[in-house]
Amino acid sequence: MIYQVEGDILLSDAAAIAHGVAANDPMDQGLALALHQQYPAMHKDFHHWCHQRHPKPGQVWVWGGVGGARIVNLITQEGGYDHGSRPGKATESNVRHALRGLKKLVEKEGFTSLALPRLATGVGSLAWDDVSPMIEHELGGLAVPVYVYSTYHSGKKANEPDLPR
């Protein structure tokens, strides 16, 4: 079941938080920056994984941290492997492939809930009206609650219905 919620995704009690990035993303903007600041080891490990695997858009990588934190990095944007290159824009195709990978990951890992932002609409530059139906289509059939943080309110905990305790 997908729930549209309002609040700060960093305060989510979901089993995993997913967000969109580019390969080798510097994670210096938006939610990626906040996650980088909260979980600096995730950022370091992500770059190590990128250098080892050279991921393509549409791929998914999950990081596990202290206290059971799970951050799912969805490669929704073209990434640069050149020094100083910036992440490219997201594409609907990349988002769709990443959401399919996310669905498989949630089922494989047995996540009991999932939180994600307005995926690929910030730095990724896609329109929410195009991305939201993709989330519904790809994740709507999951047997776990999916919380889409459609409106951001800094420091406000969202009401996450049906959250497994």
> From first to last of its 165 residues, what are the pLDDT tens digits of the chain?
999 999 999 999 999 999 999 998 999 989 999 999 999 999 999 999 999 999 998 999 999 998 899 999 999 998 765 555 677 789 999 999 999 999 999 999 999 999 999 999 988 899 999 999 999 999 999 999 999 999 999 999 999 999 876
| Residue keyed to tokens 């910036």 | 86
Domain regions of the chain by residue span: 2-152
Q: Please tell me the distance from the alpha carbon of residue 95 to that of residue 101, in angstroms, as a whole number.
A: 10
CATH 3.40.50.300 fits 2-152, yes or no: no
Q: Which residues pair with 22 in a beta bridge?
A: 77
Tokens for 81, please give them: 């492997």
Number of Cβ within 10 Å of residue 99's Cβ equals 25
DSSP code string of 105-156: HHHHHT-S-EEEESTTSSTT---HHHHHHHHHHHHTT-SS-EEEEEEE-TTP
